[in-house]
Every structure is written in structure tokens, then in C-alpha cells.
Amino acid sequence: MATAAGLAFAQAPYPARPIQVVVGFPGGGGLDVATRVVTNGMAEEGVSPVVIVNRPGASATIAAAQVARAAPDGYTLLLSSSANMGIAPHLYPKLPYDPVADFVAVAQFGVGQNVVYASQASGIRSFRDLQARLRAEPGKFNYASPGAGTTAHLTFEMIKAREKLFVVHVPFRGSPAAISAVIANELEIGVDAIGPTLSFVKSGRIVALAQTGSRRSALLPDVPTFEELGLRGMPSGTYLGLSAPAQTPEPVLAALRTSIKRFLAKPDAVAQLALAGFEPAYVEGTAFSAAMRTDAAQWGTAVKYSGATGN
């Protein structure tokens, strides 16, 4: 009887109850909103209701550690991003999880690029203008970021190292404060994700100079990429995807991937993700794992250049 009961449990259809996705960022931010868009879409495509649990802190490593310890049954998933899978291993000497061994990649669902921007009052109108000004007056300029160790901060540190520029980093506690300081011309330059800056670029309150990524984001089609400007091999902005605890059964992973892929194929997925500053980008399984490893290596170089460390 016990054996029969075990077989019945093992063959129960998945999912049979709500799925929990642990997000290592505060509610209401771009990464949280983008995740909710996709998980709501997954529910519409036949997956059980998905509950978002926000566990912000320590570059999203608190969330990752929680999921690494969870049962590999498909009911506890992680929002994997550049922060907890790519940057954190280089910031923290002792992580409470192994980004490779403790997880299996479900699928990437979105990407969001970073953008370097300038205040209107600075008179800087292109990335070439910025380079010329920084070289002509080294040490005079400061740049704002939403925080030390973020993809935005590390993007500009990579630029500084490669272009041999001297400009001082001023970290803020989040995007709104950083962008407001540049709008007020308290600092001449800023770097951030496209999402938080987009409305200010469109209204002309700040000037977008260059963006990360191998191609121009559809959200900023008139802004050149660093690759176009000759800075090749720059890390991208932020990817978003779902990972499960290692040893999660393949049929479970397949069900999750199918629901994500179906939602992202819908026309309104583009518009919904754009509201959070992201674009759909589906990559599944081993290809997503490989992309995360490549991304982590690039961020490792950027962390080394910046000298940033985790607390």
C-alpha cells in the first residue's frame, strides 16, 4: 500500500498547487514588474497560479540561497539575473550557494540594457562628446549610478578602464535619486537601466548617449550601442530568467518552459515587458546556462576593474 501511494504521488500531474518564484529585488521595481508580467502570463498558459515572494538584499543572493535549499519539485523557483548569477560570485568571497551546481536553468525570458546619459545643462550630446570632455578635463566630472556593484555601475567602470578615463563614481540608493541628481545637473553624467531613464529621455530632460547590447534596444532605437562606437566585448545590461533547484525533474522543467515560450510569443508580451524596461528574449536550458556563464565571466572583469566588494 505504501508503495502504491508513492507511485500515485510521483505520477500526480504538475503543477498541482501554486508555484512560488523568489525575487531578490524590492516589489514595484523594473525587475519585479517584468517577472510578474511573465509569471502572470505563465498562469494564463496553463501553469498553476504563481506567487511572487520578494526577498531583496545582498545583490539578490538572499533569494538565491533560499531557492538553492528548496525541494527540487518545481514549486519553488528563482528569478535568475545578472546580479545573483553573474556579479555576486565576484563580489562575495563566500556565497551560500553555487550558481552552477545548485540550480538548473529553466529559461531566460527577458533582457534590459543599460544606458549612459548626460544632463541637458552639461552640453554633452553624444558619447564622443563625453569622451572628449573627460579626456580634456580628467577628474572634473562625476557620474551617478543606482548603487555600487550594480550592472550600471560596473558598466561604466568597464568603460573607464578600457578608455583610460578619470571620472568619479557617486553611488545613490536607487535609480530615482541618481536620475534626479543628473537632471538637476548636480552630476553631469549617469548610467542606469533603460527602464528607469526612458521617460526622462523621451521628455528631453536627460540625453541618452550610448547603450549596451549587441543591437539597439527597441525602446531606444536612435541611441547607438557601444559596439557600434567601437567598444566591443562590453557586458550586456541585465538578463532575467527562471532557475529551479538542481535535480528538478525534466518533465517539470519542460512544462515551465512551454508556458513561458507560449506567453512570450503573444504580441502583448512585448508591450507589457516594455513598461518595465525589458524586451522578450527566450533562451532555454543548456543554452541559458552557457549564456549565464559567459555573462559571469564578463562581470568578473568589470568587478576587478571597479574594486567593488560585497558587504
Domain ranges for the chain: 18-112+238-306, 114-211
Query: How high does pLDDT run on average in the chain?
Result: 91
Strand order of the sheet with strand 168-171?
168-171, 142-145, 189-193, 114-119, 206-211
pTM value is 0.87
Instruction: Provide the pLDDT confidence category of residue 8 given band limits of 50, 70 and 90.
Output: very low
9 pLDDT more than 50: no
Evaluate whether 18-112+238-306 and 114-211 have a shared fold: yes
Q: Does domain 18-112+238-306 have CATH number 3.90.45.10?
A: no
Instruction: Provide the pLDDT confidence category of residue 311 given band limits of 50, 70 and 90.
Output: low
Distance from C-alpha of 111 to C-alpha of 211, rounded to nearest angstrom = 13
Of the chain, the percentage scoring pLDDT greater than 90 comes to 78
Query: What beta strand segments (E) does the chain contain?
Result: 19-23, 50-54, 76-81, 103-112, 114-119, 142-145, 168-171, 189-193, 206-211, 238-245, 279-284
CATH number of 114-211: 3.40.190.10
